[in-house]
């Protein structure tokens, strides 16, 4: 190893720090060194040009923001992106034996609070001439957030300026560099920047995550031992502890990591005399995971176990997570289960019965089955592709994100109302439900089957069920082609029952022949559709209040009257275009005139059963409960999510569940995603989940466990 030439002084603590810039405490008696230090200080005092990017001799630095139009009173992420030249590196907040962290001085518009200290990603280790350095040899983003004053008007300039000083080193030399960067922003709606939004989302994902469980440490006979509670220590391939401050460990000494029960035990040479609480970052590489996990931990003096088993570093490395075939299988199974949902089952039932009893030629049955499948797959893939595009543009959206818009809920309300009235026999259509009679089927043909499939897929989006959550969550982190294949697999599962009826004559022969009884069945199947319409009206009220719900119901009433007129003209043989046009106009008017949202509707309550005494979710509240070692049952829900409502009115409402939670001291947190919430969206993204419901239990021991999407009383009472 070549010796590194650095411009440094050694303070009494023994830690080597560069003179960046020199201070009165860092004087040197050598005239040549003193002259060089004065030259460096003069160089650093020269301000850089006011720009958001600066190319220094050894580093490119850029100031980026997740939005070019920050909203008043809303925090937004901002970052310093440093890219050292090949063979060079910058430093972590605690640089180790030698180096210096990046220092910043912000200049912000009046009334803006100072940002929090920069958050650093997990560093690398680098030993040079026996000195341990905590460094970044690749591009890295240091992140903070800024909150504009709440009283700023839109289109007000909001310029962010930072003066950054940092040290960049190679194996032979270190060079202090500096730049003053200005990012011109304008107060607006907070829309994410397509490029920088993604960069900052990735930067936040690279930051160490807070660890709620408290670790223990002890020091004796010159040895420092740290014991960290860990949910699956047997899967850890390697671990390394970075202390936040000096005086804890000898940086260059090796760290010996073993598994002692449910804890990771890290032993190394102690520094001077550690005391009190110790904070730092634990880097963990887990078997089967491509990227290391960073955990911000706090350790208190306590008892630590003896050395345990060595890590499983010699185990063959598994692929990260389940493979694509298993994910596709989960998506297909999830799609099959969607067919029993009340808004899908009536459509599927009548479409399947339209092929029953041999009244349709086998070729026509196969044609209709393929057309129906194409409609389902196309809509599912299109919705999935839209999710991926919006996420690539910086929006944290998930499956069924469109239902957070009241206008989409209104469109569904009108659509489901029309389907229910059609099933009830008020009027007939030829292109959607496979209405009674050979004539209707012939008129619908492949186009009618395609439209029915598209309709079934669209009205199924409020629902998620078993197998879907993991598959769709995995799709969000797969490459685009594989992700679209997962969404198509969901559509294939949804279409599979009708596809089987169309291609297997034996299934069609086992189904009852068409007859007068189908008229009664249609009327019966209209009931779940009317109930679905009622539920959508309730969701609309939750989103935009009673006035908005009244507007939606008025649109549904007007639509019903026009469809009744349509039915009466059909029975008399008159032209139907006039009422059809009126019905479409009524629906479009109801959708366009509805307000996008009503902030006054939001409240601090929850939809959980009262006996659970649930609180509204926030990351700070969750972190405080976990830091206090309080067991937490956290669930993410939405008013338009059928599975969520079934769980809330079923297993979660059972008296034995509330009693068990009370007895075990389990706190309940609810995240409501009905109207969309960027905090919940980010939490779902961090958990690799595409939508709701999600149920997670955090134990007092710091372990985290996700529950299935269909809850049972026994599963809930067993928690803790």
ω before 606 within 30° of 0 (cis)? no
- Mean pLDDT over 334-348 rounds to 74
Residues 331 and 448 in one domain: yes
Q: What local confidence, expressed as pLDDT, does residue 165 receive?
A: 95
Per-residue pLDDT band for 144 (boundaries 50, 70, 90) equals very high
Per-residue pLDDT band for 37 (boundaries 50, 70, 90) equals very low
CA angle, 256 then 259 then 263, to 5°: 110
Q: What local confidence, expressed as pLDDT, does residue 44 receive?
A: 40
What CATH number corresponds to the domain at position 273? 2.60.40
Lowest mean pLDDT among 288-302, 515-529, 630-644: 515-529
pLDDT, mean over the chain? 78
478/72: higher pLDDT: 72
- Mean pLDDT over 513-535 rounds to 78
Residues 436 and 527 in one domain: yes
Per-residue pLDDT band for 150 (boundaries 50, 70, 90) equals very high
Domain final residue, candidates 207, 238, 254: 207
In a domain, 629, yes or no: yes
358/645: higher pLDDT: 645
Asked if 136 and 89 count as a contact pair (C-beta separation under 8 A), the reply is yes
Q: What local confidence, expressed as pLDDT, does residue 13 receive?
A: 40
Distance CA 307, CA 702 (A): 21
Residues 535 and 585 in one domain: yes
Domain final residue, candidates 161, 182, 207: 207
Q: What local confidence, expressed as pLDDT, does residue 433 receive?
A: 34
Q: What percent of the chain has pLDDT over 70?
A: 76
Residues 202 and 222 in one domain: no
Q: What local confidence, expressed as pLDDT, does residue 474 receive?
A: 58
Per-residue pLDDT band for 467 (boundaries 50, 70, 90) equals low
Residues 185 and 230 in one domain: no
Nearest to 93 by CA among 143, 129, 56, 46: 143
Q: What local confidence, expressed as pLDDT, does residue 466 receive?
A: 53
Per-residue pLDDT band for 14 (boundaries 50, 70, 90) equals very low
Residues 88 and 237 in one domain: no
Distance CA 264, CA 238 (A): 10
Q: Look at the chain and report how many structural domains it folds into.
A: 4
- Mean pLDDT over 253-266 rounds to 88
Q: Which residues of 303-315 are buried (b: 16+ CB within 10 A; e: fewer)?
A: ebeeebeebbeee
Lowest mean pLDDT among 109-113, 187-191, 535-539, 578-582: 578-582
Asked if 567 and 428 count as a contact pair (C-beta separation under 8 A), the reply is yes
Which residues, in sequence order, are CB contacts of 216 under 8 Å at separation 6+?
226, 227, 299, 300, 301, 302, 303, 304
Q: What local confidence, expressed as pLDDT, does residue 538 receive?
A: 82
Lowest mean pLDDT among 35-49, 473-487, 498-512: 35-49
- pTM of structure: 0.43
Residues 135 and 223 in one domain: no
Question: pLDDT tens across 172-203, in order?
Answer: 888 899 999 999 999 999 998 888 888 888 88
Q: What local confidence, expressed as pLDDT, does residue 717 receive?
A: 92
Q: What local confidence, expressed as pLDDT, does residue 644 receive?
A: 83
- Mean pLDDT over 347-354 rounds to 69
In a domain, 316, yes or no: no
- Mean pLDDT over 521-538 rounds to 82
In a domain, 605, yes or no: no
Q: What percent of the chain has pLDDT over 90?
A: 28
Q: What local confidence, expressed as pLDDT, does residue 577 receive?
A: 58
Per-residue pLDDT band for 335 (boundaries 50, 70, 90) equals confident
The encoded tokens of residue 155 equal 């289109």
pLDDT exceeds 50 at position 440: no
Lowest mean pLDDT among 71-75, 91-95, 355-359: 355-359
Q: What local confidence, expressed as pLDDT, does residue 525 receive?
A: 79
Residues 52 and 16 in one domain: yes
Per-residue pLDDT band for 623 (boundaries 50, 70, 90) equals confident
What CATH number corresponds to the domain at position 669? 3.40.30.10
Asked if 647 and 653 count as a contact pair (C-beta separation under 8 A), the reply is no
Per-residue pLDDT band for 599 (boundaries 50, 70, 90) equals very low
The string of DSSP letters for 586-623 reads HHHHHHHHS-S--GGG--S--SS-GGG--EE--HHHHH
Residues 43 and 101 in one domain: yes
Q: Cα separations (Å) of 256 from 239, 296, 310, 363? A: 9, 19, 9, 70
Q: What local confidence, expressed as pLDDT, does residue 12 receive?
A: 36
Q: Which of 63-77, 401-415, 570-584, 668-682 has the highest mean pLDDT?
A: 63-77
**Whole-angstrom distance between the N-terminal and C-terminal Cα of the chain?**
53
Asked if 304 and 265 count as a contact pair (C-beta separation under 8 A), the reply is yes
Q: What local confidence, expressed as pLDDT, does residue 267 receive?
A: 92
In a domain, 83, yes or no: yes
97/532: higher pLDDT: 97
Q: What local confidence, expressed as pLDDT, does residue 299 receive?
A: 93
Asked if 203 and 138 count as a contact pair (C-beta separation under 8 A), the reply is no
- Mean pLDDT over 332-356 rounds to 73
58/347: higher pLDDT: 58
Work out the number of other CB atoms within 10 angstroms of the CB of residue 584: 13
Beta-ladder partners of 140? 82
In a domain, 1, yes or no: no
Q: Which strands make up the sheet holding 131-136, listed edge to edge? A: 90-96, 131-136, 124-128
Instruction: Give me the domain span that covers residue 470.
Output: 324-600
Residues 363 and 504 in one domain: yes
In a domain, 575, yes or no: yes
What is the DSSP pairing of strand 293-301 with strand 215-220? parallel
Question: pLDDT tens across 272-323, in order?
Answer: 777 889 999 999 988 777 788 899 999 999 888 888 777 754 333 333 445 6
pLDDT exceeds 50 at position 446: yes
φ, ψ dihedrals at 433, nearest 5°: -100, 5
Q: What local confidence, expressed as pLDDT, does residue 89 receive?
A: 94
Q: What local confidence, expressed as pLDDT, does residue 125 receive?
A: 92
What CATH number corresponds to the domain at position 195? 2.60.40.1250
Domain final residue, candidates 576, 600, 624: 600
Distance CA 66, CA 227 (A): 38
- Mean pLDDT over 62-78 rounds to 94
Lowest mean pLDDT among 348-362, 413-427, 571-585: 571-585
Q: What local confidence, expressed as pLDDT, does residue 10 receive?
A: 35
pLDDT exceeds 80 at position 652: yes
In a domain, 75, yes or no: yes
In a domain, 334, yes or no: yes
Residues 473 and 520 in one domain: yes
Q: What local confidence, expressed as pLDDT, does residue 602 receive?
A: 47
Residues 527 and 615 in one domain: no
Per-residue pLDDT band for 263 (boundaries 50, 70, 90) equals confident
What is the DSSP pairing of strand 667-672 with strand 615-616? parallel
Lowest mean pLDDT among 28-32, 117-121, 178-182, 504-508: 28-32
User: Helix (H, G, I), strand (E, B), or coil: what is residue 711?
Assistant: coil
């Amino acid at each position: 190893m070549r010796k590194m030439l650095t411009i440094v002084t050694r303070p009494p603590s023994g830690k080597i720090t560069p003179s960046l810039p020199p201070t009165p405490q860092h004087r040197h008696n050598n005239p040549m060194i003193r002259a060089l230090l004065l030259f460096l200080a003069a160089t650093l005092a020269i301000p850089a040009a006011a720009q958001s990017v600066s190319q220094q001799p050894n580093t490119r630095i850029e100031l980026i923001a997740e939005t070019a139009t920050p909203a008043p009173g809303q925090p937004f992420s901002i970052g310093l992106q440093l890219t050292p030249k090949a063979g060079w590196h910058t430093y972590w907040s605690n640089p180790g034996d030698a180096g210096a962290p990046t220092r910043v001085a912000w200049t912000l518009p009046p009334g803006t609070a100072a940002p929090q200290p920069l958050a650093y990603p997990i560093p690398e280790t680098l030993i040079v001439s026996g000195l341990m350095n905590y460094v970044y040899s690749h591009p890295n983003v240091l992140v903070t957030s800024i909150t504009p004053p709440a009283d700023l008007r839109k289109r007000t300039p909001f310029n962010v300026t930072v003066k950054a000083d940092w040290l960049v080193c190679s194996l032979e030399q270190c060079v202090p560099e500096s730049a003053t960067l200005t990012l011109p922003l304008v107060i607006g709606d907070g829309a994410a920047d397509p490029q920088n939004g993604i960069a900052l989302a990735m930067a936040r994902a690279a930051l160490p995550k807070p660890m709620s469980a408290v670790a223990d440490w002890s020091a004796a006979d010159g040895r420092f031992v740290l014991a960290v509670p860990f949910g699956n220590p047997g899967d850890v391939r390697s671990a390394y502890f970075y202390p936040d401050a000096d005086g804890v460990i000898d940086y260059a000494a090796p760290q010996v990591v073993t598994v002692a029960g449910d804890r990771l035990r890290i032993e190394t040479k102690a520094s001077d005399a550690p005391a009190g609480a110790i904070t730092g970052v634990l880097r963990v590489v887990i078997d089967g995971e491509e990227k290391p996990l960073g955990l911000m931990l706090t350790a208190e003096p306590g008892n630590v176990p003896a050395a345990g088993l060595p890590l499983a570093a010699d185990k063959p490395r598994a692929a990260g997570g389940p493979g694509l075939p298993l994910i596709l299988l989960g998506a297909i199974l999830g799609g099959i289960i969607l067919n029993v949902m009340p808004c899908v089952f009536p459509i599927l039932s009548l479409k399947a019965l339209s092929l029953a009893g041999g009244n349709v030629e086998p070729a026509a049955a196969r044609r209709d089955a393929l057309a129906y499948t194409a409609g389902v797959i196309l809509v599912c893939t299109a919705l999935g592709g839209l999710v991926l595009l919006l996420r690539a543009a910086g929006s944290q959206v998930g499956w069924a994100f469109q239902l957070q818009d009241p206008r989409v809920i209104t469109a569904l309300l009108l659509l489901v109302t029309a389907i229910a009235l059609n099933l009830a026999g008020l009027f007939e259509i030829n292109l959607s439900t496979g209405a009674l009679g050979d004539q209707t089927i012939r008129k619908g043909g492949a186009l009618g089957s395609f439209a029915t499939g598209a309709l079934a897929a669209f009205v199924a989006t409020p629902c998620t069920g078993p197998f879907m959550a993991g598959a769709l969550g995995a799709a969000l982190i797969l490459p685009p082609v594989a992700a679209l294949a997962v969404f198509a697999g969901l559509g294939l599962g949804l279409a599979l029952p009708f596809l089987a009826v169309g291609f297997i004559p034996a299934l069609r022969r086992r189904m009852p022949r068409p007859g007068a009884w189908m008229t009664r069945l249609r009327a019966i199947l209209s009931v779940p559709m009317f109930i679905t319409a009622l539920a959508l009206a309730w969701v609309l009220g939750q989103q935009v209040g009673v006035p908005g719900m009244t507007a939606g119901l008025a649109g549904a009433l007007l639509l019903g009257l026009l469809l009744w007129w349509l039915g009466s003209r059909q029975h008399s043989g008159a032209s139907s275009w006039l009422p059809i046009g009126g019905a479409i106009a009524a629906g479009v008017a109801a959708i366009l005139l509805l307000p996008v949202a009503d902030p006054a509707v939001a409240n601090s309550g929850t939809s959980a059963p009262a006996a659970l005494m649930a609180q509204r979710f926030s990351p700070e509240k969750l972190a405080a409960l976990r830091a206090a070692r309080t067991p937490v049952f956290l669930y993410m829900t939405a008013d338009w999510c059928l599975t969520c409502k079934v769980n809330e009115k079923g297993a979660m409402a059972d008296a034995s569940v509330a009693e068990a939670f009370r007895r075990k001291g389990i706190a309940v947190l609810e995240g409501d995603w009905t109207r969309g919430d960027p905090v919940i969206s980010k939490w779902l993204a961090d958990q690799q989940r595409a939508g709701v419901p999600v149920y997670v239990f955090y134990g007092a021991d710091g372990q985290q466990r996700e529950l299935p999407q269909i809850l049972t009383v026994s599963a809930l009472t067993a928690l803790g």
